Structure formats: C-alpha cells, structure tokens
Amino acid sequence: MTRRRTVLAASAAGLAATGIAHPAAAHDAVEPARAALRRLIGRRADQLTLSLTARTDTDTYRVSDHHGRPHIEATTPATILTGFHRYLGETLHAGIWWAGTNLDHLPARLPAPATPITGRADVPHRFALNDTNDGYTGPYRDLDRWRHEVDILALHGFNEILVYLGADAVYRDTLREFGYTDDEVRAWIPAPAHQPWWLLQNMSGFGGPVAAAEIEHRADTAAALIDHIRALGMTPVLPGYFGTVPPDFADRNTGAHVVPQGSWCGFTRPGWLDPRDDHFTRVAAAFYRHSAARYGDTTMYKMDLLHEGGTAGDVPVGDASRAVETALRTAHPDATWVILGWQDNPKKDTIAAVDTSRMLIVDGLSEHADKTDRDTDWSGTPYAFGTIFNYGGKSTLGACTPVWIDKYRQWRDKQDSALTGIALMPEAGDNNAAALDLFASLAWTDHAIDARDWYADYAARRYGHPDRHATAAWQTLRATAYALDGTVKGEPQDSLFAAQPSLSATSGAGWSPDTMQYDGATFDRALPLLLAAHPTLRHTDAYRYDLVDIARQTLTNRSRILLPQIAAAYHTGDTAAFDELTAVWLSWMQLLERLVASRGEFLLGPALAAARRAAGAPGEFDQRTILTVWGDRHASQVGGLHDYANREWHGLIGDVYHDRWRRYFDSLRTALTSGRAPAPIDWYALTDAWARRTNSYRSHPTGDEHALATAIHRTLAADTHQVPVTVTAEPAILVAGSTTTLTAHITNASGLSDVHAATLTPAVPDGATATPLDPTGIDTLRGGTGAAVRWQLTAPTGWHTDQPATTLTVRANYRVGRASGHATGATRVLAGAPITDPYRTVDFNDATFAAAGTGFGIFGGGRDMWGGTNQFAAIVLPGGLPDGATATVRVVLQDPTGPWARAGLVVRNSLAKNGALGYANLAVTPAHGCALSVDDNGDGRLNKVTATAGPVAPVTLRLTRTGATVTAAYRTDGTDWTSLGTARPSGLAATPEVGIFMTAANGGSGATGIATFDTVSVH
C-alpha cells in the first residue's frame, strides 16, 4: 500500500501530540488551524493572528489584543481552535456545536477581547468518540463531513480522536496473507454501519460482502482524515490487534488455536486467536505493518478483549493480555493501550498482567451511581472520566450533568488519583449540544462549575445575548432532562412512538429506561418559555434547532401518558375511548413528522442519499437496517436489537413508526369487534421490507420552526388526554364476604394547562358495593399535580363470579380550559374462591390465587424466571407428568408487566424446591410470543430458550412428555397446533410435578399482574 498524505498534513505531522517536534515554519505550523477556521467562519478567519507556544505537558491557550485584532497563541493548532471557541462565547456570545450554530450575528470585523482570555487543560487526555460512533452517526460520511466533526471536537478542547474508519482495509490486507482470498475476506467484513461491532468482536458478515472499491475509498478517506487529525496536533486513536479472526482460521493455518466466542445478541461472533500462539504474533505483526502502511504510526491503539460476553475458553486471560501487549510493543514500543471501561472490562487478570503505566481506560460508566472508586477498581491504572449520554443515537434529550460536575472534580482531586482524562463517548454524536459543551468544559475549567450559572451562560452563547425567557427555559432543562442522577444507566427515556407496537411497551429500545427519568410536567414549561424569547433570537440557527428539539421532546413525552390509557380502553372493551385515543396518538405522530421536517438534522433523506452515493443499494440497506431492525430476524427479535437506534426523523416517523402503530391499532380494533385475539403481525418482516426499499426521502427541510413549535404548544395546551387515571386494589382479590380498598390516582401530567372540576366514579361488578372513603370531586389540578380517591368495595356473602378475574374501573370527568375531558383507569383483581384439593400452590413471588367456574387465576410479581432467578407462582396439577402424558392449558389473559412476563405450563421434579432438576416451562409472553425454556445443563437453572414471535394471550399451550424429552406446541385458533420444538430437561424424574404458572418478569420494576387460565388438563 502507498500511504496517502497531503503536503499540509506532512508539514504538521510532527507536532508534539504525535511525538515529534514542532515544524520550523510558524506559518506552516498554524495553517491547519487557520484552514479549519476558514471552513467554520469564512474569510473572517484571516483577521485573526495565530501562533504556537512551546509545547509542555499541559495544553494551554491565550487570546489577547494584538493591534486591535484577536491574537490566539496555543500549544497546538487544535488548542488554537479551543481558544477561538472560548473567545466566541465570551466576547461575542456565539458558538459552534454538533447541532445548531450561533454565527449569524458575527460582526464584519472581529473585535479583540477586552482582557486576555486564557485556558489550561487540567488533564492530558481528552478522548472523543465511541466505538459505535462510525455506525450510528455517519457510516457513509465523506471527508468534508468527517473533517468538520474533528474541527468541532477541537473547538471543544478534545485532543484524542478514535478512528475506526478504514480498519476494514487493514484486516483485508492482513488476512490475505493467511490463506484467505479477497472475496472471502470481504464476505466476512460487515457493511460499514455494522463494522464497529465486528471490530469489538461481536459479529461479522452482516450486509456484506463489501465491494473492493468501497473499502479502498473508505481507506483513502481514513488516511486523509488521520492526516487532518495529526495536522491539528491531535492524536488519532486507531484499532489495535487482539485476535479477531474468521472462525475457520485454524483450517487455513495449521496449528492455530482459535477459541469460539459464542453469540452476541443473536449474531455468531468471530473467533478469537489465542494471543499466546505463534500465529497470533505473525497476524498481529502483519496487522500493525499494514495499518502503518496505510495510515502511519500513532501513539494510541484501542483494543477490547472479551467485550460483552466474550469467552476466554482455555486461555488464561492474564497470559493473553500480556501477549496482546507484547505484540503492540513490538510494533509500537511507546504506544498506549486504550481500553473501554465497560461491564467487567478491563478484567482484573488483564490489569495484573500488563504495564498499566502505558494503559488508558476510557470509562463508559463514570456517571453511573454504583461506580464510586475507579482507582480501586482498576488498581491505580490511568483512566479517563467518561460519559455515554446517548445510546444508539436516539433523539432523546438529557444527560447526567450534575453527576459530571460533582464526580469529576471529586475523583480528579483525591489523593493519588489515577484520573488523567475525560472521555466523550455517546454512541452517536450530532445531538445534545449542551451535553457536549458542558462535558468538554470539565477539563478546561479551573473552578467548581455552578450549574445554574453555567446554563445561563450557555443560553447566552447559544442564542447571541442574554434573554430572560431563554435563560428560564434552560434552567428548566437543567432541572429535568439534564439532571439525571445515574441510577438508571446514564441516559433518559426514549420514545414510545418509535417502539415496536405493544400495549405494554415501556421503551423503544431493549435496554433503554422503562420509565420517565424526570418530571415531564416540569419539562413542559421549557417550550413556552423558549417560544417567548425575544424575536431577534429567532434568526439564530441554534435557537431554531433547540426549539424543534424541545418541542419534539415535549410531544414525545406524551407517548408515555397516552399509551396506558389506550391499553386501559382496550382491556376494558371501551371501543369509543379506544377509537378516540388511538386517533389522538396517530395525529400526534403526524404532527411530530411535520415538526422534524423543518430541520435538516432530523431528516432521514440525507443519510440514505449518502449511503446510496457511497455504496449503492447495499449501502442504503445497511443504513436503513441499523436504524430499524438492526440485523437478521434472530438478532432483531430474539437478540432484542430492533429499534435500538430509533430516531425521531422525518421519514422514519411517517413510513415506519406511524405505519406500524396504525396496523397495530387496526388489529386491536378488529379484535374488540370480533371478540377474538388480535391477528399477529410479523414486525420483523414488515420493517425489514421497508429496509429493502430504495425510495428517496426529503433531503432539505421545509416549514417554519417557530410556527410548528407554536402549533405543538397550542395543541398540547388545549388537549384533554393528558390526565391519566391509575387504579389499584389492595388486596388484589375480591371474594364472597370480603372487602378490598379501591384507589384511583388522577394526575395532570401536562405542565401546559390546569385541570378543573374533576369528579371520579367507580364501576364495580354486579352485586358488589362501593363506599367512598374520600371526597370524589377535585376543584383544580395544577400541572404536574395529582390526587387520590379511595372506595371500600364489598362482596356480600354468597356473591360469585364465573371468571377468576374481574375488572374494576374508575372514570374521571373534568375540564381543560373550555373543553370537557374524561379518562378511565382500570385494574384487574382475582375473583372467586380459594384453591382447594386436589390442587395446591407454590409461591415465590408474593402471589395470591383464585378459582372460579372451570378457571384459575394467579396474581403476583417477580423479577424474572431465568438463570438463578426463579420468582414465579404455580398451581400444581394432580398426577404430575409421567412418560406419555400431555398437559394442556389455555392462557386466557396476561397482564403486560414486562416484555418477558410468562404464563403457561411449568414442569420440575419438585415445583416447591428451587434448584430441583427436570426444569422446563412453556409460556406465552406479551412481547416475545410463545417461549420454551429449559435447564439442559443440570444446574437447576433455566439456561436455554426457544421463542416464536407473534402469539399473545389468549393462547392454548401443550406440553407432551416422551421419555426424557418434552415437546411444546401452541395454538391460537382452537384447531391447528404449531410446534415450538422439543427440550431435554436435565435429570427429569419418572413423575415430575407439572403446574400452571405465572411470573411478572418485571426486571425489578415492582410491577404486579394477573394471569388467568382455563381448559386445564393432564392426560
């Protein structure tokens, strides 16, 4: 390979950040900074005088008056940009960020600062970009767009940039030396949007083969980008080699020891070449040689051994780590090994085996509340305080900014601290400008940051001058979306509009928070405040961007208010309310689509167009896939990756999210009319079909941002559907001669309007009575406030019911402005009689049980029923499950307490004894269809699951015993059985116990629910 270099980059490549002395020519040395400034502010950049100071261990800048013109002197060209951005903010109330700029009011002649502005970095490492950035932010970016990204990071004071772009070319060059043809290597390499997870050793091949010309184009872009990074005096952080190979590497290279890595989220992982192996030494040497040939040497290489579930097999982790380090040192003796602090990485054996003085851990979990002492965790290894405030590039606003402010200084300043840097690592960039700005400032602020003052200053810099309404808006955001405390990951909730449709949906992505992470009614107040800002601010690009983003978030938060009401209407059979609420839901999605169309940052079209230009239809499929289904069916639905990178973008909202919810609501409406179960919808097939389309979407914004945000404010302020009513019963059972307390909580979830004249009325089963314990009328509910009303429900002696569960409802009537509104809350309770012989009960989740007619009901909680957690309840059926027996049950209803809530049949040698063998269950779930789970390794813990998407209750389940195996099947139509496969529970007894069971599988949320059963038999 011939290394591509620009003359400019070559002249600047020797800056101290890359380990070589400054160039002699001062003009040439600062030219990369001036070129960047010209790209950012045009010819005004020529008014600045720039110079470099002698480089020390600490980066500094100084902006002063030089004959009436701004003069910036700094230790590197990148730090010149950092000083310039500070000058913009302090002198001109201007700025440049990932999302939105404020340059509209720059004067024709840039004034010198009134007094010198100085800055000093308090840590040497200011690392930027996540491993996933290339996939989630812009896998098909061109060089200009990448260069702009680096320029912005330099403006904010970062000096180490992770570059995964172009790594595919290095692997291609390397593996062709070890028995692979070019076609074989390119088939193993995933398409660009998915390459980050290949480089993390999680997957391979998806979306490939990558065209040879595309790999070379990406390599050329990477070479030019790396030159640009070096020219600015920054350090490119490149991938190192730690053993990733195709799984058949040993077949091509006799004697090689390759450890299978199993699976990751449904994908088969690449193999891991034993680093102690001579083959590893040769592959690593070739890898570093080809990397240097294409991109030159650097002083930092990133490697993550055994990332997210990788297995060492028979390879000692310490020995492997030492061998990986040896290969790096052989190629680059002075290089630093950069490794992500994530889950249990870096492993203690790695820390103990390597020279930690030449390791840097970029901590992805610093902001998490349970991380309190990284010096102890990593035995004094140097680390960077990090943030991942965004997962998957979701559009949601927010971050743990108070945690950053407090924790960073505490950790940095404690005695013998190993903290030597910061690490900005959102999984995607180009959003959350406030988070970028504040986190970057940690390393450049010589005093404790006062959050209130910082946000006031930010608002002035963001919009051009101080404005009381804009300042108040940002103080509201400071107290809500940007006040996360790190107890639930480090990210805010995402959008339910973007979720795979389900009445029990609590997040769009599988690992996102299930609940609101701040008070939504308080957040609402930011929108009218920002709308009220002085009209001169409306010309500022950053103001218009923020207005759309805040209006978007305000509307998006409504999805969490409305969906439970839709679910209640469906479960109570209230078709009129269901029609009304679903129409509102779909209309809000259409309004959201029109809003985001007004900003280019929220358009799908440009991303697809870039992919199409770079790689044709395969590139477009790659880009569409990463945003929706993510991977193949198994990875998407069973692995849980679907919609992980959901975005509230024009095009996605209208053609994917709105279409899915419309189809889902139609199926539910048909079910309400017919009395049958909703028709299953294959969400993967539907969304995958969209991903394979090649239609174009808007590439330019349309609409006035202020007018659209105003329309959203008016719509939500007048809407009457933001007053949810939740109902509980304690105890959650009603039988003859007993009482229960019914409680209705009514909340005004909107911060944009008050609720007046609310009255609440319960509806109870025939024969039961309700006596109010509190006043049932409420004069006024201010935004964000609520009230509770209780009734005592009594079932007289002799009262009975044909079903083991009944629904209790409370209806609220009220006014919002001049409009009348209503809302209904509902709860299910068990009804009937206690369980008696020949049945008995087993309880590991605080359950209650009931029997009525020919049916049974169980009410309970439970965190999960998997691995070492067995929080379930069961009614044990007489006779057990001997060889040749078949157990059958119809699950009539199941409360959606979690996506993996289970109800169905369970078999175990002893159901009353956790840890007993012969353990398997067949269940229906709210979000994963029917599932057969089994302990097949003899430890008494469920460890393998087979699931089929689609079916939900009501569904009939059948479990048949044949020798040592059980065969599972289900049916939804009363006639045709669908096989779910067979399982071999370890140690299955001659007559194990069998029962009907449920678990809420609430994941720790505390949610409880009911499952009811009928048509129970064992024969």
Give the pLDDT confidence of 967-978 residue by residue, as tens digits: 999 998 777 899
pLDDT one-digit tens code per residue, 525-566: 999 999 999 999 999 999 999 999 999 999 999 999 999 999
Residue in 933, 753, 736, 735 with CA at minimum distance from that of residue 848: 735
pLDDT one-digit tens code per residue, 907-919: 999 999 999 999 9
pLDDT one-digit tens code per residue, 311-366: 999 999 999 999 999 999 999 999 999 999 999 999 999 999 999 999 999 999 99
Rg (CA), the chain: 31
- Calculate ∠ Cα 684-688-694, nearest 5°: 165
Indicate whether 23 pLDDT > 60: no
Contact 555, 709 (CB under 8 A): no
pLDDT one-digit tens code per residue, 220-250: 999 999 999 999 999 999 999 999 999 999 9
Separation CA 121–CA 58 (nearest Å): 6
- With cut-offs at 50, 70 and 90, classify the pLDDT of residue 799: confident
Indicate whether 5 pLDDT > 90: no
Which residues, in sequence order, are bridge partners of residue 923?
Answer: 904, 931
Average pLDDT across the chain, whole number: 94
Least confident of 251-255, 445-449, 796-800: 796-800
Per-residue pLDDT, 264: 95
- With cut-offs at 50, 70 and 90, classify the pLDDT of residue 26: low
Residues in the chain: 1019
Per-residue pLDDT, 13: 38
Residue with tokens 């050329």: 220
Per-residue pLDDT, 27: 66
- Which residues have C-beta within 8 Å of that of residue 830, sequence separation ≥ 6? 732, 733, 734, 735, 804, 805, 848, 849, 850, 857, 858, 859, 1010
Contact 607, 595 (CB under 8 A): no
**Sheet hosting strand 271-273, strand order edge to edge:** 244-245, 271-273, 258-259
Indicate whether 9 pLDDT > 50: no
pLDDT one-digit tens code per residue, 109-123: 999 999 999 999 999
DSSP 144-188: HHHHHHHHHHHHTT--EEE--TTHHHHHHHHHTTTT--HHHHHHH
Contact 48, 72 (CB under 8 A): yes
Chain centre distance of CA 485: 17
| Longest Cα–Cα distance in the chain | 100
What region, left, alpha or beta, does residue 843 occupy, with left being phi > 0 and alpha being psi -120 to 50 degrees? beta
Per-residue pLDDT, 948: 86
- With cut-offs at 50, 70 and 90, classify the pLDDT of residue 19: very low
Per-residue pLDDT, 973: 73
Q: At what angle do helices 451-463 and 541-557 cross, to 10 degrees?
A: 120
Residue with tokens 């179960």: 677
pTM here is 0.91
Domains, the chain, ordered by start = 46-120 (3.30.379.10), 125-446 (3.20.20.80), 520-718 (1.20.120.670), 725-832 (2.60.40.10), 840-1018 (2.60.120.200)
pLDDT one-digit tens code per residue, 507-516: 999 999 999 9
Q: What is the DSSP letter of 836?
A: -
Give per-residue burial for 640-669: e unless 16+ CB within 10 Å, then b: bbbbbbbbbbbbbbbbbbbebbeebbeebb
Indicate whether 20 pLDDT > 80: no
pLDDT one-digit tens code per residue, 246-297: 999 999 999 999 999 999 999 999 999 999 999 999 999 999 999 999 999 9
pLDDT one-digit tens code per residue, 172-214: 999 999 999 999 999 999 999 999 999 999 999 999 999 999 9
